[in-house]
Amino acid sequence: MKNVLANRTSKIDASGIRKVFALAGSLKDPVNFSIGQPDFDVPEPLKEEAINAIRAGQNKYSQTAGDAVLKKRIAEQLQNEFGWSNPAVLISSGVSGGLLLAFLALINPEDEVIIPDPYFVIYKHVINMLGGRCVFVDSYPNFELPIEKIADAITDKTKMIILNSPSNPTGVVYSKEQIKRLAEVAAKKDILVMTDEIYEKFCYDGECPSIANYYEKTLLLRGFSKSYAMTGWRLGYVAAGEALKNVIEEMTKIQQYTFVCAPGPFQIAAIAALDYKIRDLVDSYRNKRNLLYDGLKDKFELVKPGGAFYAFVKAPGGSGSKFVEKAIASNVLIIPGNVFSEKDTHFRISYATSDAKIQEGIDILSRLA
C-alpha cells in the first residue's frame, strides 16, 4: 500500500516522557519522577471560579485572542513589570499551544533556531516538522547560558534564539547579567528572542529575570498550568511589545484555523488566578528541591536547581539510557537525558511528588549508584 503519511511525521518520535509515564500504570506504587505535573491540585477558590463560569453558561467560544478581561489584566501586569506600552496578548491553549503558533508564524524551511542544549522537547520536534534547522549550543556541564557560543552560532539564516528559564530539564535559572548580555548579542544582530517562562513563579534563590526587561524584540510565553496545577485546563498566553505586535497578530490569525480559542470557562478562572498567591506552594517546592539535592549530591554529579521542579543528573557509568533502565527495574521512573539533549549522559528527575516519595527515590537511586 502506498504510504499515506506526510513526510513530516518521520521527523518526530513518540514522546520519551510519555512512554515512561505510561509505565507508571503497569508498576506497583512506583516512585514517579517522570512527568512535570504538580502534585498539588488546583486551589479550591480557582476551581470554584471555573465551576461558577460553567454554571453561568460561559461555555461558548471566546474571541480568538482570548477573553477581553483576562487579556486586559495580563497586559496591565506586563506594563507594570516590563514598562511595555499597550502590549499585545494572545491567550493560548497552554504554552505548548503558544509555541506551536509561534513556530508556525515565524519559521520558514531552512530557517535556523538557536537553542541551548539541554532543551525542552517540543522545540526540536516542531521546528524539524516545519523544515527549520535547530542549532544546538552546548551548555554542559553547568547549564549556564552559553552566550559566547550563541553569538558564534548566529548566521544570516538565524531566525530566533530560544530561552527557557527556569529551565526544563535542568532547573537552572539564568542570572540577570547573563540575560542582559544575551540581549546585547540579540540586539546587535537584530534577532528575535522567544522566552519560555512557564516556570517563572517557581524561583527558589532570588528573582527569575526575564529578557523582556532588556530587549524589545522578545516574544514572551507564560501560563497557568504549572503554577496553579491547571495542566489539564490548557491555558497559557503569548505577549509582546510594540516591536513584535505583528507576530501576535499573525499568531492570532493562525489560531482561528487551529485551536479556535483557549477553553472559555477556564479563561474566567484564570482572571482570579492572576491575583492568587502561591507563596506557600513555592516554599513547599523549595523544600522538595533541597531534599532531593541534599540526598543525591554526595552520590551523583548534579547542578543545584534554582527553579522549576527538575534536576538533571549525570548518570553513573556515562549512559543516561542504561541507568534509566536500571532505575525503572527498581521501580523508579526517570527520563533519559537524550530526550532533552543531543547527549545521552544524564537523566531528568521531576521532584513534583510527595516528600516521602522523594526520599524513597533518593534511597533507591543512591543504591543503584
Of 88-92, 193-197, 322-326, the range with the lowest mean pLDDT is: 322-326
Provide mean pLDDT across the span 179-207: 97
**pLDDT at residue 21 above 90?**
no
**pLDDT at residue 22 above 70?**
no
Question: What is residue 350's predicted lDDT score, i.e. its pLDDT?
Answer: 97
Question: What is residue 235's predicted lDDT score, i.e. its pLDDT?
Answer: 97
Which is nearest to 223 in space by CA: 98, 309, 122? Answer: 98
Provide mean pLDDT across the span 30-34: 93
Question: What is residue 263's predicted lDDT score, i.e. its pLDDT?
Answer: 96
Give the pLDDT band (50/70/90) at residue 66. Answer: very high
pLDDT tens track for 255-290:
999 999 999 999 999 999 999 999 999 999 999 999
Give the pLDDT band (50/70/90) at residue 319. Answer: very high
Question: What is residue 28's predicted lDDT score, i.e. its pLDDT?
Answer: 84
Question: What is residue 68's predicted lDDT score, i.e. its pLDDT?
Answer: 97
**pLDDT at residue 19 above 70?**
no
Provide mean pLDDT across the span 361-369: 97
**pLDDT at residue 23 above 70?**
no
Whole-number Cα distances in Å, 207 to 61, 80, 95, 203, 311 = 37, 16, 21, 6, 19
Of 9-18, 331-340, 351-360, the range with the lowest mean pLDDT is: 9-18
Question: What is residue 206's predicted lDDT score, i.e. its pLDDT?
Answer: 92
Question: What is residue 27's predicted lDDT score, i.e. its pLDDT?
Answer: 78
Question: What is residue 3's predicted lDDT score, i.e. its pLDDT?
Answer: 78
Q: What percent of the chain has pLDDT over 70?
A: 96
Whole-number Cα distances in Å, 189 to 84, 160, 162 = 22, 11, 15
**pLDDT at residue 366 above 80?**
yes
**pLDDT at residue 18 above 90?**
no
pLDDT tens track for 92-118:
999 999 999 999 999 999 999 999 999
With contact defined as beta carbons under 8 Å apart, do 74 and 100 qualify?
Answer: no
Summary mean pLDDT of the chain: 95
Provide mean pLDDT across the span 13-40: 77
Question: What is residue 9's predicted lDDT score, i.e. its pLDDT?
Answer: 85
Which is nearest to 139 in space by CA: 114, 153, 164, 118? Answer: 118
Q: Give me the domains of the chain, ranges plus CATH numbers.
A: 7-42+278-368 (3.90.1150.10), 60-273 (3.40.640.10)
Question: What is residue 347's predicted lDDT score, i.e. its pLDDT?
Answer: 97
Question: What is residue 109's predicted lDDT score, i.e. its pLDDT?
Answer: 96
